[in-house]
Amino acid sequence: MKLYPMFADLGSRRILVVGGGVVAERKVAALLAAGAQVIVAANASTPALQSLAAQGRIELRQDEFDASWLDTIWLLVAATSDQALNRRLAMLAEQRRIFVNVVDDATLSSFHVPAVVDRAPLTIAISSGGAAPMLARLIRERLEALLDPSLGPLTALAARWRERIRARHPDLGQRRRFYETLFTGPVAALLRRGRSGQAEQATARALAEPSQMASGSVVLVGAGPGDPGLLTLRGLRALNEADVILHDRLVSDEVLELARRDAVRVAVGKESGRHHTVQDDIHRLMLEYAGSGKRVVRLKGGDPFVFGRGGEELEFLRQHGIAYEVVPGITAALACAAYAGIPLTHRRHAQAVRLMTAHCRDSLDALDWAAMAQERQTLAVYMGVGELGTLQAGLIEHGRAPETPFALIENGSRADQRVITGTLANLVASAAQHAVRSPALLILGDVAALAQRLSWFGAEPV
């Protein structure tokens, strides 16, 4: 280990920054955030540094550097473009046993400023020892994506309850197990939902009754249409916290690969003709796993609340007293249209979007055909491959022009995406000619014609 990792308390301590450019400005901002008393030495400085000086937040010295300035400081930051001055500053700091950071020069620095993930009061610092600072920044970006912002409030809560937890669990092993559950169980879930008061109450109950910490929970997560890059950060965090993942048939393998490796994965895809039976099975599994204290992710293709039965599942969880959260996903209409180069609205073509499902005859019979046939709107039809004939006939019968453009997007956002285009009059024939299969989304309206010249992903439209 080349560097000894250390977090320094700079509160009210004098720190000297030599340099007045944008780099110095960034260093000053971080030092002020840590509570330091900052002195900036520079002949010329940025407007932001001048403003900080005018506000009395920093001391700005515009004289030539004087070595005596080092006599009362704790740390030195050299942020100048003058290499000779930087070397002199490093030498003077070494003589006085003051730690110095020379920006972009690891060989002259006795301390390095790490890349930081800030979940105050939790702080994570990453350093490559000056060997590859860009790699440290890349790792920071990945950690930012993985670590929920609620970790800050969770750390603060643990600090407030620390002495009471120690008194309640004097045995180190018991205390460690309590903390593990505190950081991963219902208290953490309440903080993610912004319910700090309830989190405090749950902590008090858990200390009084340890069994309170054993309850499980369910998170409904929208997996998006298939491209793992479209999974939300919150969805990714949920997958990495899950003990059990109940996933639909349409959730891509690439999304599942992002999940925690040791999580139990259960496929709960629905089959035609068995929707009610399978939904009851899903309810049973959620109750069984959450009831045994597991963190369950119910992973759904697209968005849980857009033709995904998410509402029914929340009603069931509420009825049985199971804690739940919802993480929205990018629904197929948004993602598939975007990946096909089709804007769902366009000021010259469509001022409204209508989302509908056509997975069975009962749903089609309940549709407002006259409203659907209106011009200057975009129809996005989910699960309609098996009912294209009925859709075509009903729309034309109620006044939608036969020459209205359509796009059928099969496996939208995935590597094997296909886009079939044409007009409403040849919708059924085109789908048959190209053997379109589910999952496929139908977009109908003038905007669909834009796929031919705005497509950017996958094979060219046909």
Catalytic positions are: 248, 270
CA distance 225 to 222: 9
Please give the Cα distance from 443 to 371 (Å, whole number): 16
Strands 244-247 and 323-327: unpaired
Handedness of CA 266, 215, 151, 311 (dihedral sign): positive
Q: Among 1, 4, 25, which residue's Cα sits nearest to residue 111?
A: 4
Q: Are 79 and 17 in contact (CB under 8 A)?
A: yes
Structural tokens at position 275: 């929707």
Helix, strand, or coil here: 138?
Answer: helix
Tokens standing for residue 132: 């590859």
What number of CA atoms fall less than 13 Å from residue 429's CA on the CB side? 5
Q: How far apart are CA 136 and CA 139, in angstroms?
A: 5
Structure tokens at 250: 């349409």
Q: What's the N-to-C CA distance of the chain in angstroms? A: 58
Block residue for tokens 């509160």 = 11
Are the CB atoms for 31 and 39 separated by under 8 Å? no
Alpha carbon of 16 to those of 19, 73, 81, 107, 113: distances in Å? 10, 7, 16, 20, 15
Q: Residue length, the chain?
A: 462
Q: What HEC string does 291-313 produce?
A: HCCCEEEEEECECCCCCCCHHHH
- Number of CB atoms found within 10 A of residue 3's CB: 15
